Amino acid sequence: MTIKEAKLKETIRTLAAEFFSRESNRTSLITITDVELASRNANATILFTVLPTDQEPAALDFMHRKLGELREYINDHSKVMRVPFLDVAVDEGEKNRQRIDVLSNS
């Protein structure tokens, strides 16, 4: 990963976290964990976790509805020349890591 890609990932992650924190109705805690870039930085998938976990479907639906506004927010609050096409997904890797932590502490 180049420095440019790392900066783009961090910019998107930070601004997405700010945006969803501000826009959410606080019924669940949405945490932006990572951003995956693909197709020469033309596509970005924002990975997140939700507490409580039974709110994942509602959070995913909410985040999909807000992607257009998020793209505008990133465009207005950063120096990114071309904002990638955005998508969101539950961070399964983080969920698995948390499960391993719980099992190893038992």
Confidence of residue 1 (pLDDT cuts 50, 70, 90): confident
The domain segmentation of the chain, as residue ranges, is 3-105
Average pLDDT, the chain: 93
Reference 53, options 88, 12, 25, 95; nearest CA is 95
Sign of CA dihedral 7, 79, 85, 15: positive
Q: What order of strands is seen across the sheet that includes strand 29-38?
A: 29-38, 43-51, 85-90
The answer to whether residue 103 scores a pLDDT higher than 90 is: no
* CATH among 3.30.300.20, 3.40.50.2020, 3.40.50.10470, 3.40.190.10 for 3-105: 3.30.300.20
The Cβ of residue 50 has, within 10 Å, a number of other Cβ atoms equal to 21
> What would the two tokens of residue 51 be?
């507490």
The answer to whether residue 78 scores a pLDDT higher than 90 is: yes
> What would the two tokens of residue 33 be?
């964990």
